[in-house]
Structure 1
Amino acid sequence: MKLLLDQGLPLSAAALLRDAGINTIHVGEIGMSEAEDSDIIQRARDERRVVATLDADFHTLLALDIAVNPSVIRIRVERLRAKALTDLLLTVVAECLEDLEQGAAITVDSSRIRVRRLPLVHDV
């Protein structure tokens, strides 16, 4: 499993996740702090990383593109410190590993984890 942490998530969480055995980079570590969401998605796709973000726009972009990758974990719990975010992401990865590997849009809030497989399409 490889993660790409978006801006808004603690930079220090990347090191904590690496220490826990998860190959993780933060956009701030690779000069993408101000990159467009579409560029971050492409970077994740190219490197086969899962994006972790606070931003709902990532799920929207996946839906509009009828994308099958990359997987995106949207965190809907604000003000998480690095340790709490690390613990949360380790839980999500452990519980949703197969979905993340196959392509999923995951939403995490304080009470549940919602998994939708990619591509995100609606029946008409």
Structure 2
Amino acid sequence: MKLLFDQNLSFKLCQDVSDLFPGSCHVRDVGLTQADDRTIWSFARANQLTIVSQDADFSDMAMLLGPPPKVIWVRSGNRPRVAIALLLRTYSGLIAEFEVNDAVCLEIY
């Protein structure tokens, strides 16, 4: 599974979890820093990426539009990058299951 990290998360997460999620990128890496949510959604869909965000907007879009893409909603509040990376590592098994099940949004805390 390749992840697309939203602007509200650190671009360094790509490197932090590259062993688990190779090929992941940040919106900044693909020129979408100032893009609206719909543009990011379309990019993720076209490139088979799962959106990772702390923003409820993508969860809402997932429920309304359905996959692809799928959305991982990080609901842990503003925490250091290493804490978010640890959260993704802790739930990597659940995230792998999420990739193949019918759910459209996975909330992790």
TM-score class, shorter-chain normalisation, is: 0.7 to 0.9
The answer to whether the 8 A contact 1:53-1:74 is kept is: yes
The TM-score with structure 2 as length reference comes to: 0.86
Number of residue equivalences:
107
Question: Is 1:78 aligned to 2:84, yes or no?
Answer: no
Give 1:96's aligned amino acid: I
Whichever structure has more strand as a proportion of its residues is: 1
How far residue 80 of structure 1 moved from its aligned partner, in angstroms, is 2.1
Q: After TM superposition, which residue ranges in structure 1, 4 or more long, deviate above 4 angstroms? A: none
CA contact (8 A) 1:10 1:81 kept: no
Q: Which residue is equivalent to 2:97?
A: 98
* Structure 1: segments with no counterpart, 5+ residues: 110-124
Counterpart contact for 1:3–1:51, Cα < 8 Å: yes
**For 2:100 and 2:45, how far apart are their aligned partners in 1?**
12
Whose radius of gyration is greater, 1 or 2?
A: 1
Q: Which has the higher contact order (CA 8 A, sep 6+)?
A: 2
Q: CA RMSD in A?
A: 1.6
Q: Identify the residue that residue 108 of structure 1 maps to in structure 2.
A: 108
The amino acid of 2:35's aligned partner reads A
Identity %: 27
Establish whether residue 52 from structure 1 lines up as the match of residue 52 from structure 2: yes
